[in-house]
Chain A
Amino acid sequence: MAVEFTDSNFEEVALKSGKPVMVDFWAEWCGPCRVVGPVVEELANDYEGKVVIGKVNVDHNTELSAKYGIRNIPTIIFIKDGEVVDKSVGASPKNILEEKIEAML
């Protein structure tokens, strides 16, 4: 199950976890985000315990969106040791996201 990140819990749940992090920036009204959503859920199950995978609703969490310069959705960012190491913009297929996760492990 993907974690629901917010402006207030992101630091604690994601950055201080000591694990690589994958964050999906999305919105309810965005069609392509709804395509990526189930893929993110699957990945959260596949990599449970190894990678912290979660979602950020850009409408409710404007601070996080601004911090990471999110102008397009869906955007998926990959964070390792607090640094953004990779980014995927648009509806990407599962295998591409898997490759990027594997590169962080």
Chain B
Amino acid sequence: MGIFILTILDSTMALRPTPEMQQRLSRLEFLAKQAVEGFITGLHKSPFHGFSVEFAEHRIYNPGESTRHIDWKLYARTDRMYVKRYEEETNLRCQIVIDFSSSMRYPSEVTLDSPGMNKLKYSVESAAALIELFRRQRDAVGLSLFSDTLDLQTHARSSMSHHRMLYHKLEGVMDSPSSAQETSAISSIHQIAEATPRRSLIIIFSDMLDKSEDLDSVIDALNHLRHNKHEVIVFHVLDKSTEITFDFPERPTKFVDLETGAELKLHPSEVREHYISRMASLRKELSARCGAHGIDWIDVDIAEGPVPVLARYLIKRKKLL
């Protein structure tokens, strides 16, 4: 279990969009568009050209099937019944999974509108940017949210209205007041593995600070996803300056576990060395064991912005298609 600074926690979260949220929704969508535009401008080669979303082939029409995709112009010209098929049908199906337990509100309580960053805001903004990217590539995307239980599991779709709904849900997560919610990543991931259609790409944003502290169970849960033929990327979201390098001021400091409320008064210099080495070995072990099961484990720093997330996703997509 990690060490956290105190924030005020109360009430339960609400996921239904309010009119005020809908107004601000466009801001999250706007931020996502900006992030993706900036990212694409920075690429040397656009990933969006080529055959991937284009009309790819004609197939003989089978009597009895839907007439929706018949190429009527061709029928008019040649009397032949052919169906147009698009590459889109073979596009990716992706499930974004966000851990919104209390530890994700580290290092400080922020909202979408306020300056500053915490792990949850980073995850929400990165997810919004990914959704924008999926929209452009016409990939289907779904969303799962979990803390101590699995709170939301949507289907993967590629329609505009579905994307809007996902932005609403993401806004809802950021706007919900925080309460002391422990992480139960393990049981949630097992549920997601069963609920998501096979052969999906599952992208998880979490600090993976599970209440059970049992690495074997975490790996078992992630492996369950692989067993169901999913491709898995875990973005291990961290505040590098404090969680990896333990960069706290040299004075007695009160550390509070955001999930349980447990407090500990310490002088940072007393535990720094021990903390850094334990954290390093934990990250190394998780990364190595995930690698052995074909799971991409990637540490991301909330100070970096969503670009590394987008880049990593595109690399993975290229490998898959």
Contacts and interface: CB of A to CB of B under 8 A. Distances in A.
A105 interface: no
A91 B57 contact: yes
Interface in B16-73: 50-51, 54-60
Contact of A72 (B50, B59, B77, B87): B59
A90 B56 contact: yes
Interface string B82-107: 10010100000000000000000000
Interface residues of A, number: 16
Contacts of A90: 51, 56-57, 85, 87
Contacts of A35: 51
A54 interface: no
Given A29-B74, A29-B77, A91 B51 contact: yes
B78 interface: yes
Contact of A91 (B56, B59, B60, B77): B56
A89 interface: yes
A47 to B, nearest CB: 22
Given A29-B77, A90-B85, A72 B58 contact: yes
A92 B321 CA distance: 12
A71 B60 contact: yes
A49 interface: no
Interface string A1-43: 0000000000000000000000000010111100100000000
A93 B85 contact: no
B60 A72 contact: yes
Contacts of B51: 35, 90-93
Interface in B174-205: none
A29 B58 CA distance: 10
Contacts of B57: 30, 32, 72-75, 89-91
A91 to B, nearest CB: 5
A82 to B, nearest CB: 26
A30 B51 CA distance: 15
Nearest to A26: B58
Interface in A68-100: 71-75, 89-93
Interface of A: 27, 29-32, 35, 71-75, 89-93
Those 6 A-B pairs whose CB atoms lie nearest each other, nearest first: A90-B56, A90-B57, A72-B59, A71-B60, A91-B56, A72-B57
Nearest to A28: B78
A57 to B, nearest CB: 13
Contact of B78 (A29, A31, A72, A75): A29
Contacts of B85: 72, 90
Contacts of A92: 51
B138 to A, nearest CB: 16
Contact of B59 (A27, A29, A71, A93): A71
Contacts of A31: 55
A96 to B, nearest CB: 10
B28 to A, nearest CB: 35
Among B50, B56, B74, the most chain A Cβ lie within 10 Å of the Cβ of B56
B150 to A, nearest CB: 37
A35 B50 CA distance: 11
A91 B52 CA distance: 10
Nearest to A30: B58
